[in-house]
Amino acid sequence: MGDMERTERDLLVEQLVWKRKKSLGMAYLLWLMAGMVGGHRVYLNQMKGVYILMFFWFAGFWFPALWLIGLAALVADLFLMPSLVRAHMEDVRREYQL
């Protein structure tokens, strides 16, 4: 593949990534409104994190210590949000480069 074809392909990939870009502001808003059930992680297509957060929140009704762990994970997500958004964009970029 020549340099021109590679450049055109890279431009196309970046356009497709830009179309599926997620907003950091929206992720924070979802964290604020639905963070307890992982709404921000659903928005960023990180379903494993959603399941983990939901487990801690709902299991916390029977074991309050788990609720505290869920709260700590939620606070950690507040600080990890920019890297979660970047990771989503890298996942999309990898998907289109295959």
Task: Report the alpha-carbon distance of residue 81 to residue 44 in Å, rounded.
Answer: 10
Task: Report the SS3 class of residue 22.
Answer: coil
Which pLDDT score is estimated for 45?
A: 92
Residue 66 vs residues 7, 19, 53, 55, 93: alpha-carbon distances, Å: 50, 38, 10, 9, 35
Is pLDDT above 90 for 2?
no
Question: pTM for the complete prediction?
Answer: 0.83
Could you tell me which residue, 6 or 42, shows the higher pLDDT? 42
Count of H-run helices and E-run strands, the chain: 5, 0
